[in-house]
Structures are given as C-alpha cells and as structure tokens.
C-alpha cells in the first residue's frame, strides 16, 4: 500500500519551522535595537543595511518584525495554552459525565461565544488595563469555550465505547479513563483544533493591537506594527508589507500543519 504524499504536512512543517524560527530568533537577537530611531534613515527603502527598510521614525523594520513576531508568537502560544488547558479539563468532564452540570457549563460557554469577542476583550482589558499579560489573560479566557466545546464533543463520542466500559469494569480510575484512555484517541481532532486556535490567537492579538487595545505603546507586536504603518501605506508600503507577510507566514504554516496532522493521524 503506497501512502499518498502528505503535502499539507510537509509544507506546513517547513513554513511553521521558518516562521517559528524567525520569531524565536527575535527573542535573542535583532540587528538593530527595535526602538533605536535614526533621523537620517526615516522612510529608508529596503537595502542591504536595512533589508525591510526603515519606518517613519527611522527604526529598522527587520528588527521590529523579528521582535514583533516573537511577541505575537509568545502571546498566541500562551493564549492557546490557557484556553486549551482549561478547555480540556472543562470539556473532558462535561463530555464524560454529562448531566445538569454539563448543561449549565455549556450554556455559559454559549453565552461567552455569542458575545463578539473583540467587545468582550475590550471589556476585560478595560478592567485590567492594557499590556502583554492582560492581553494573554483576556484572549485566553475568550478561547476557553471553543476548546471546551471541541473537547466535550470528542469525549462524548468515546464515553460509551466498549473499550471505555471495559476499563471501567477493570476498576480504572475515572481520571485515568479520561486522560489515559480517551484523550489519546482525540489527538487528531484536538491537534488540528489547536492549530486553528493558534491562528485565531495570532489574528486576535493582531486585531486587538490594531485597535489599540493590545500590547502597550512601548511594546512591539505584528498587529501593532501594521496598525502604526497603515497611515504610510501609500507612501511607504514596506512598513505594512513585511509585518503582514510574517503574520501570513505564521498563520499559513500553522493552518497547513493542522490539516496535515489531521490527514496523517486520521487515516488509522
């Protein structure tokens, strides 16, 4: 039996490796300081010294995308870790046990999901104030319902399977049944859900920073760069082009990787 080449997986892996590597680089090294302003370099076109050019304040765009990408990546990862962990626990318990508690929790999730997320993010940030950690917290909370719903559906599907019944008869503890027996079967769906969640987190961070309620003015993030660059779109398009390109690369890679993972694990 010849396996079809899984192009989504291969391409997704390459793109993800590139964009994550790029973002990781920004954590440790940038050619210039991302905040150093050089008056003579204002609106400098891309060149050997400044591969992505310079912005309206004479800051190196390459350095800024490096740092912005690492900030965006960290925020997106932290957001899906919070959303996924909480969603996993809530969804697993609701799906496996069901009953009245499940109904109540799911209605709460519905209520959160029915609210426009940007609006809800605004409310949370209005209460906590802007800043990187508050953005993570706000988005993390917003991401819990969708993960909980996904996980719940999967656990609901498996709770009455014979192999789960067999485990119960053997006296396996409920916690082990949840996370050692059922969970491994749900990875194909959960992993592709995670990559979609990652994409949404990148976009959500970008749109919140774009709206000016994301990371603080001193911080750099891809969304903030795009937001600042929009006024110079006609005069200095490279200011918006490069951060947008890095954002697309990040999202495209994760999206394709998710599709590839599902194809790869779902074949069994």
Partner 1 sequence: MAEPIVNIRHLNSWYGKGKERRQVLRDVSLTLAAGETLGIVGESGSGKTTLAKCVLGMVTDYQGTLQVNSPRPQMVFQDPYGSLNPARTVGWFLEEALRASGVGDRGERRARALDMLTQVGLTGEHYGRRPGQLSGGQRQRVSIAAALIQGSKLIVLDEPVSALDVTLQAQILQLLADLRARYQLSYLFISHDLAVVYQLCDRVCVLYHGQVVEEGGLDTVYDHPRHDYTKKLLAASLALD
* List of residues contacting partner 1 (CB under 8 A): 161-163, 165-173, 176, 180-181, 184-185, 187, 268
DSSP 13-55: HHHHHHHHHHHHHHHH--SS-TT---GGGTTPPS-SSSTT-B-
For the bound state, the minimum distance from the C-beta of residue 149 to partner 1, rounded and expressed in Å, comes to 22
Minimum separation from the CB atom of position 155 to partner 1 (A): 14
Whether residue 173 contacts residue 191, with contact meaning beta carbons closer than 8 Å, is answered with no
- Residue whose CB is less far from partner 1, 186 or 200: 186
How many CB atoms sit inside 10 A of residue 182's CB? Answer: 23
Min separation Cβ 1 and partner 1, Å: 13
What is the nearest approach in angstroms of partner 1 to the Cβ of residue 90? 22
Closer to partner 1 at the Cβ: 182 or 249?
A: 182
Which residue lies nearer to partner 1 by CB, 166 or 248? 166
Environment class of 42 (CB within 10 Å of its CB; exposed 0-12, middle 13-18, buried 19+): middle
Closer by beta carbon to partner 1, 1 or else 48: 1
Contacts 24+ apart (CB under 8 A), 163-168: none
């Amino acid at each position: 039996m010849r396996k079809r080449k899984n192009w989504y997986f291969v391409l997704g892996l390459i793109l993800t490796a590139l964009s994550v590597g790029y973002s990781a680089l920004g954590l440790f090294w940038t050619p210039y300081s991302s905040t150093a302003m050089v008056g003579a370099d204002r609106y400098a076109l891309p060149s050997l010294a400044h591969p992505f050019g310079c912005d309206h304040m004479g800051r190196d765009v390459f350095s800024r995308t490096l740092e912005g990408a690492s900030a965006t990546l960290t925020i997106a990862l932290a957001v899906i870790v919070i959303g996924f962990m909480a969603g996993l626990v809530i969804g697993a318990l609701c799906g496996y046990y069901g009953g009245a508690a499940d109904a109540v929790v799911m209605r709460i999730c519905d209520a959160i999901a029915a609210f426009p997320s940007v609006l809800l993010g605004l409310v949370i940030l209005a209460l906590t104030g802007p800043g990187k950690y508050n953005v993570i917290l706000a988005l993390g909370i917003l991401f819990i319902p969708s993960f909980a719903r996904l996980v719940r559906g999967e656990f609901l599907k498996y709770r009455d399977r014979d192999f789960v019944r067999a485990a119960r008869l053997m006296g396996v503890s409920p916690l082990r049944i949840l996370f050692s027996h059922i969970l491994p079967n749900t990875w194909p769906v959960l992993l592709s859900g995670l990559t979609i969640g990652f994409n949404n987190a990148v976009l959500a961070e970008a749109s919140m920073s774009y709206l000016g309620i994301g990371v603080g003015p001193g911080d750099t993030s891809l969304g903030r760069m795009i937001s600042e660059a929009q006024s110079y779109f006609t005069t200095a398009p490279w200011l918006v082009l490069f951060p947008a390109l890095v954002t697309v690369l990040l999202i495209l890679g994760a999206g394709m990787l998710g599709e590839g993972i599902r194809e790869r694990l779902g074949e069994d």
